Structure 1
Amino acid sequence: MNATLYKQMMKVNMKGFMNYAFGSAFYILLMFWLYPGIAKNSGAIDELVQSMPQGVGKAFGFNGFGSAEAFISGEYYGLILVLILSILCVQVSTQLMARLVDQGSMAYLLSTKATRGRVALTQAAVLTTGLFLILAITTIAGYAGNAWFLGDEYAFDTSTFIQMNAAAFLLFFAVGGISFLVSALSNDEKKALGISGAITFGFFSLDLLGKISENINWMRSLSIFSLYQPGEIVNGKDMLASSIILAAIGIITFALAIALFRKRDLPL
Structure 2
Amino acid sequence: MKMTLFKQMMKVNMRGFLNYAFGSAFYILLMFWLYPGIAKNAEAIDSVVDSMPEGVGRAFGLNGFGSAEAFISGEFYGLILVLILSIVCVQLATKLMAKLVDQGSMAYLLSTPTTRGQIAFTQAAVLTTGLFLILAVTTIAGFAGNAWFLGDDYALDTTKFIQMNAAAFLLFFAVGGLSFLVSSLASDEKKALGIAGAITFGFFSMDLLGKLSVQIEWIRNVSVFSLYRPADIINGDAHMTASSITLAAIGLLSFSLAVVLFRRRDLSL
TM-score, with length taken from structure 1: 0.99
Provide, for residues 207-234 of structure 1, a one-character-per-residue CA deviation record: whole Å limited to 9, x for no partner: 0000001001001001000000000001
1:33 is aligned to 33
Alignment of 1:69-108 (within 5 A): 69-108=69-108
TM-score, with length taken from structure 2: 0.99
The alpha-carbon deviation at position 13 of structure 1 amounts to: 0.4
The alpha-carbon deviation at position 145 of structure 1 amounts to: 0.2
Alignment of 1:155-170 (within 5 A): 155-170=155-170
1:267 is aligned to 268
**For residue 140 of structure 1, what is the amino acid of its counterpart?**
I
**Contact 1:207/1:226 (<8 A) preserved:** yes
**Contact 1:207/1:223 (<8 A) preserved:** yes
**Contact 1:86/1:172 (<8 A) preserved:** yes
2:241 is aligned to 240
Alignment of 1:48-63 (within 5 A): 48-63=48-63
Alignment of 1:153-232 (within 5 A): 153-232=153-232
> Does residue 136 in structure 1 map to residue 136 in structure 2?
yes
The 2-side partners of 1:218 and 1:112 are apart by 49
The DSSP-based 3-state class of the residue aligned with 1:242 is helix
The alpha-carbon deviation at position 181 of structure 1 amounts to: 0.2
The alpha-carbon deviation at position 240 of structure 1 amounts to: 1.1
1:16 is aligned to 16
Unaligned runs of at least 5 residues, structure 1: none
2:42 is aligned to 42
**For residue 53 of structure 2, what is the amino acid of its counterpart?**
P
The alpha-carbon deviation at position 67 of structure 1 amounts to: 0.3
How many residue pairs match? The answer is: 268
How big is the alpha-carbon RMSD for the aligned residues of Structure 1 and Structure 2?
0.7
The alpha-carbon deviation at position 267 of structure 1 amounts to: 2.4
**For residue 100 of structure 2, what is the amino acid of its counterpart?**
L
Unaligned runs of at least 5 residues, structure 2: none
**For residue 85 of structure 1, what is the amino acid of its counterpart?**
L
Structure 1 segments (4+ residues) deviating >4 Å: none
